[in-house]
Chain A
Amino acid sequence: MIQRLFRLAGGTVLVLAWVAPPAAAAPPKGAPPPGKARTIAELAARYDSSSCVECHQEAHEQWERSAHSRPIFGTGRTAATFKTAVMNGLLKWEHSGVKSQKDVRVEHLQGCTKCHLPQLVEAADGVAQEILSTIDAWQAAAEEGDEAATDKAAKTLKSLNINCLVCHNRNAIIHKWTDGSPQPGTVYGGSAEGEHPDPKFPRVAKSPVMGESILCGQCHGLGPNLELHNPTQCATGYGSYLFAYIPDGGDKTCQQCHMRDSGLGHDMQSFRSEVMAKAALDMHVEARAYVWRDNQTFRPMATVKVELHNKAGHGLPDG
């Protein structure tokens, strides 16, 4: 114990004493690192944005219709692809360190979750395994026709999503040495700054990139994710935007087409949306018939000319 005496006015003495903490005991084997979410439920609770709904009802309802509300589950095909990545990838690759699903760590899922669930890096490895076992449970229940179990597993998977807090906090600041890191209790928007009437998030601040394409580009793809030990490639839309659309004179942002011009707001959609499909391209068809002559042989022919003009800010299709 260390003591220090401070003589204060009037001769009183303040004794400050502190005791050195005992040497930290080694964490038990397998225990998650401190501060990491240990379960899907804990991670979902950490990113609970339910308090946003009261004031932002319309945005919430729009978001619920978007793929951002179910990035792990998708249409079911996304969840299945998580499993395929393990079965056909990690388990077969000699140097992955994965001999069974129990060996899967958060790092192993980064090829998918870098975008499908960026907050997974704030979870312990057990959460990566829980995601996979929940997908197993969902697939097994679906095969057995157990509707209740299927719905329960799907609901668990959908509890992990790209919600308000991912775009308006976690990913709202990209250049952290320039702009600082996103602060807890703060929601980031395009312009407003000051107080925010939510006890959980009492401050609102300006994100320098909220209206910029780079915000979306964090996930929507330059090409191979070369920073990973085993690079993956999902979307290439942002790469096409940067290296084809912009050089050709394009000047719109992702948000302009997918949120504002479409009228879809936070229901950001792509090829499945009638609105986006209509906006994406113009098709012009010309057709006529004629008689082809090959020496003495005449053959009636139809000729069809189709012009497709891509009005999107990226190649169609993307992938």
Chain B
Amino acid sequence: MPVPQQLGRGDRMGRGPYEKSGLLVDTSLPPRRTVTQNWEIRFPVEETENEDGETVRKYSTDQLELDIQLWYQPYGTPDDDAVLWRQEKRTVKVDTSGL
């Protein structure tokens, strides 16, 4: 989102329109451009230590249900004014045998 500068000076963000003048940073999506974001998500794992002091990992699932949501947050927070723009679900699976 465009992060407005407080009274056009310094490094502090302004909040109300009455104190916003200028921008500090702008992370909004530029018009006519494609922005790509990548996420790396670890499968949930339970780690324990065996009698020999070795770490033993146990994966409770070999499958993840991914819920990808794109929200428009006009005030930069997930409040009542935020609107869900897109939602897609993906299921990914991996072979955890022997891990």
Contacts and interface: CB of A to CB of B under 8 A. Distances in A.
Interface string B77-96: 00001010110101011111
Contacts of B14: 233
Interface centre among A111, A283, A315, by most chain B C-beta atoms within 10 angstroms, is: A315
B42 A233 contact: no
Q: Interface size bucket, A side? A: 35 or more
Contact of A317 (B1, B20, B42): B1
Q: Is the interface of B mostly helix, strand, loop or mixed?
A: strand
A289 interface: yes
Interface in A71-104: 75, 77, 81, 84-85, 88-90
Given A84-B16, A224-B8, A301 B32 contact: no
Given A298-B99, A309-B35, A319-B28, 6 more contacts: A233-B20, A234-B20, A300-B59, A301-B94, A307-B34, A309-B33
Contacts of A302: 40-43, 64, 66, 92, 94
A318 B17 CA distance: 13
Given A271-B74, A283-B88, A304 B38 contact: yes
Q: Is the interface of A mostly helix, strand, loop or mixed?
A: mixed
Interface of A: 75, 77, 81, 84-85, 88-90, 111-112, 223-224, 230-234, 236, 240-241, 244-245, 248-250, 271-272, 277, 280-281, 283, 285, 287-291, 297-319
Nearest to B8: A224
Nearest to A90: B18
B29 A304 contact: no
A310 B29 contact: yes
Contacts of A272: 83
Given A223-B22, A308-B34, A315 B92 contact: no
A313 B20 CA distance: 23
A198 to B, nearest CB: 36
B62 A300 contact: yes
